[in-house]
Amino acid sequence: MRVFVTGASGFVGSAVVAELVAAGHKVLGLARSGSSAKKIEALGAKAHMGDLVDISSLKNGIQLCDGVIHTGMNHDFSNWKKSCEQDQHVIDAIGAILAGSNRPVILTSALGILPAGSIATEESRPHANSPNPRVLTEIAARKIIERGVNASIVRLPPSTHGAGDWGFVTMLIKIAKDKGVSVYSDDIQNTWPAVHRLDSAKVFRLALERSFAGSYYHAVAEDGVPFKRIAETIANELEIPLKGMSGADTTSHFGWFSHFAAMNIKAESDATRSVLSWKPDQVDLITDMKQNYFE
């Protein structure tokens, strides 16, 4: 299959490209720069110069391929609402390009948008009025599915981890380094689901190959790692104090990252494992942190 991948040089996208190439697919990866193009080509794929905001470049790339995997997004957490609105527009554009073709597209969402207080399954849906703007991704996805586009959704955990991670765990480590203390919340015993990026890449590939339109998948290897355990690991590896905080103190410590630090999610992936015959086999989050996050 010829597959067009957005975010092809990114942390998750590059793993998806490598997984697709290893499985015998031909990959065309969207690249914004020469350095991104070189990364994509080093993985055995071809680079397609363009940008997510350049709809013509998206259209040209998609028209050359049999399917699409959309992992690209501007992860500007300081202006998160704008980034999510941009992703909504990109999904709308992809849907318009694919309309009437039955070519599959696999979209990327996040478990953090699902309602807290219960174990999230593939059947769980976010509230339309969720304060988390990332919900716009699934609103856009549902709209193109309702228009008949052969789209499916892969939800990723707060920690999609691995060597080279620049996501939430890396941000926690930086905050701990800067402030000389690793903090967890005394108010809640919150948990983060986790998956290794190489295991998540298999979910994207299998979802594309099976092409069950309108499906939701959870790339979840660990249903809920205690946030306190993550903070303990950071404290031990950096040799700094571990401290529980509550209320305004926690908010003050984490600043703009407070919302993410307070995420309290447990998520199953039973249906994903069954339907896709997916078996994660990479190391768990804490082991990965000890091996790759403190060099």
Is the pLDDT at 115 greater than 90, yes or no?
Answer: no
Per-residue pLDDT at 64 exceeds 90 = yes
Helix/strand/coil for 124:
coil
Model confidence at 75, pLDDT cuts 50, 70, 90, reads confident
The whole-number pLDDT of residue 117 equals 77
Please give the full DSSP string across 254-281, using - where no structure is assigned: HGGGHHHHT---EE--HHHHHHHT----
Phi then psi for residue 12, to 5 deg, are -85, -45
Global pTM value? 0.96
- Dist CA 205 CA 276 (whole Å): 10
Rounded mean pLDDT of 151-158? 98
CB 259: neighbour CB atoms within 10 A? 14
| pLDDT tens sequence across 230-261 | 999 999 999 999 999 999 999 999 998 998 99
C-alpha span between 202 and 153 (Å, rounded): 14
- Whether the pLDDT of residue 80 is over 90: the answer is no
What domains sit in the chain, N to C, each tagged with a CATH number?
Answer: 2-158+195-221+268-281 (3.40.50.720)
Q: What are the helix (H) ranges across 32-150?
A: 34-42, 55-63, 80-98, 135-146
Tokens of 118: 């219960």
- Measured CA to CA, the distance from residue 245 to residue 187 in angstroms comes to 8
Residues of the chain with pLDDT > 90, as a percent, come to 91
Of 3, 5, 83, 65, the residue nearest 37 (C-alpha): 5
State residue 259's pLDDT score: 87
Residue 175 is predicted with a pLDDT of: 98
Residue 76's pLDDT is what?
A: 80
Between CA 145 and CA 203 the distance in angstroms is: 19
Q: How confident is the model at residue 1 (pLDDT cuts 50, 70, 90)?
A: very high
- The two tokens of residue 37 are 């193009």
Residues 102 and 151: their CA atoms lie apart, in Å, by 9
The share of the chain scoring above pLDDT 70, in percent, equals 100
